[in-house]
Structure 1
Amino acid sequence: MKGIGYGLAALACMTVATPGWACTLCSCSASTTGIGFGGYDPGSSSPKDGSGSVTLSCTGLVSLAGTIEIAMSPGGSGNALSRQMSQGAASLLYNLYTNGSRTTIWGTGAAGTSTVSATLTGLLSFSQTVSVYGRIPAGQWVKAGPYADSVIVTITY
């Protein structure tokens, strides 16, 4: 008998401003599209992949030479190298990556994780969408049902 688990990594949003080296008199915000993994088959030998996005929007005197850094919290597990979605006491391992080949874990830049930088490319307004890649490793025998986690996206500009 196969159990089917469903994974959803929710991305929550928070903006944090630092002294305006990248953007003068700016107001920036971010919106996210969560990752819906769909059905997960623990008997499959292949991981389950999904993707979402973070969209940055800034208005003000945008510097053409500046960058915005995007970091992600470890989620409910407290460890970005070993993120977990939960359903009650049950958990399902997953992770978030900066690249489509899913080799670089997206975190705060500490403990083996990386952040993503977006280059400011406009005057008065700037908008850019960055992809987030997720993966649930194969072979996790979990009870069926919805699994979820929340990750805080921090934008430094």
Structure 2
Amino acid sequence: MNVVSISGACASGTCRAATPTSHRPLRWLAGAALALAAGTAQAQCSVSASGLVFSGYDVFSATHNDSSATITISCSEATGYSLALSSANGSPQQPLLSSSDDALDYRLHQDAARSLVWGEGSFSLSGNTDGTQEHTVYGRIPAGQNVRVGNYTNTITVTLEF
């Protein structure tokens, strides 16, 4: 299993599959392992994400503040993967946008209707790609939160396992 993690609005990362090694292999086992490794192609995958940017939040508005971002998975050959998100502020199920004085509750959703919250049940998404696969993350700041004026931020870490 290989893991790639990225954080921030425009971060990206690349990971290559590692060849298994042993500290004290027998000579004939080492030779057999090298022969097998030489004949096996290893997938190369990368992950990138656009920033999830909300417009100005109006505490007097009865309308939710919605936004979306795209996570792009690219693999050199057919590869199964799982994708997970985690929040620096708050829990994965209840991330917070925070300023120096206050915090805004928001949610990350798997669907445009914003009915499937990331973090309810399994906080990951599985897929398979032999090229590029995009996943949209839908964000929502619920209306009716009484917060101070300020710049609110959070870091979401995207973890790709393949």
- Please say whether Structure 1 and Structure 2 have the same fold, judged by a TM-score greater than 0.5: yes
**For residue 70 of structure 2, what is the aligned residue in structure 1?**
53
Q: CA RMSD in A?
A: 2.6
Q: Distance in 2 between matches of 1:91 and 1:33?
A: 23
Q: In 2, are the aligned partners of 1:12 and 1:153 still within 8 Å (CA)?
A: no
Pairwise mapping of residues 3-152 of structure 1 onto structure 2 (< 5 A)? 10=9, 24-59=41-76, 62-63=77-78, 66-77=79-90, 79-107=91-119, 112-120=121-129, 122=130, 126-152=131-157
* Aligned positions, number: 135
Where does structure 1 lack aligned partners over 5 or more consecutive residues? 1-8
AA aligned to 2:132 is S
CA–CA distance in 2 between the matches of 1:152 and 1:44? 30
Distance 2:46 2:116 in 1: 25
Percent identity of the aligned residues? 32
Name the CA distance, whole Å, in 2 between partners of 1:148 and 1:54: 19
Distance in 2 (CA, whole Å) between partners of 1:67 and 1:151 is 23
Q: Say if 1:42 and 1:69 are closer, same or farther in 2 by CA, change over 3 A.
A: same
Which structure carries more strand by proportion? 1
d(CA) in 2 for partners of 1:155, 1:140? 33
* Number of the residue aligned with 1:4: none
Q: When the two structures are superposed, what TM-score results if normalisation uses the length of structure 2?
A: 0.72
Change (3 A) 1:146 1:37: same
Query: How has the CA–CA distance of structure 1 residues 146 and 73 changed in structure 2, closer, same or farther, with 3 Å as cutoff?
Result: same
Higher RCO (CA-CA < 8 Å; seq separation 6+): 1
**AA in 2 matched with 1:92:** L
4+ residue segments displaced more than 3 Å: 9-20
Gaps of 5+ in 2: 1-7, 20-40
Counterparts of 1:38 and 1:55, CA distance in 2 = 23
Larger radius of gyration: 2
